A = this chain, B = another copy of it.
């Protein structure tokens, strides 16, 4: 199989394949054709085949894809078969919800600790994870070889904390704060940006239901 660089645009799509094929694996489904898969996740048959073939996931003519072989191939691409250590910064509402999120474990992310600035929270144990003072952040990251941090602090605190994380040698930040953080090129930043997700929803509500838009569309 020839190696092909995976372009930026297929990353979200391959994440979707990952999740859906994971579901099928759990359900014990054995095979799926590009046609079925495409219908289910709303991608054209052509694109499915193009993508899977570029990942090196090989199907079989007349049969489709054997999920038992395909899934482990797909999973290798984002590397979720590997182990990561993660900490959560900000142990209030959102941080506590995040620590309960079961998705970490399934993707090889092990939560090592939580940090907060508030004395009232420090020392509490949530889902078996102790909330620590942020003063010990740097040492903790070094000692536990933490590569990834989840940022669930208020927006105003975010830039300073991001700097401290970078300084402590963190390699990836999963950012739940509502701001664009500036970090070095070699640190990976994954933005959740719920506010933008809601804005996108709003956009689509408008374009489906706004009579003015409909009129405009009709005139096209």
Contacts and interface: CB of A to CB of B under 8 A. Distances in A.
Interface of A: 3, 5-6, 11-12, 14-16, 18-20, 23, 40-41, 77-80, 82, 84, 93-94, 96-97, 100-101, 103-104, 106-109, 147-148, 171-172, 174, 178-180, 186, 188, 190, 192-210, 216-217, 219-220
A23 to B, nearest CB: 7
A43 to B, nearest CB: 12
Contacts of A194: 101, 103, 192
A198 B109 contact: yes
Contacts of A78: 199-200, 202-203, 206
- Give the oligomeric copy count: 2
Contact of A41 (B6, B84, B174, B180): B180
5 contacts: A3-B216, A5-B216, A80-B202, A82-B206, A109-B202
Given A5-B217, A11-B200, A200-B12, A205 B147 contact: yes
A171 B216 CA distance: 21
A178 B104 CA distance: 13
Given A23-B179, A171-B205, A210-B79, A18 B199 contact: yes
A18 B203 CA distance: 11
Given A40-B180, A180-B20, A194-B192, A199 B107 contact: yes
Contacts of A208: 171, 186, 188
B103 A195 contact: yes
A11 B135 CA distance: 40
Nearest to A203: B78
A199 to B, nearest CB: 4
Contact of A188 (B15, B18, B205): B205
A55 B132 CA distance: 47
A207 B82 CA distance: 13
A217 B4 CA distance: 9
Given A179-B23, A192-B197, A202 B107 contact: yes
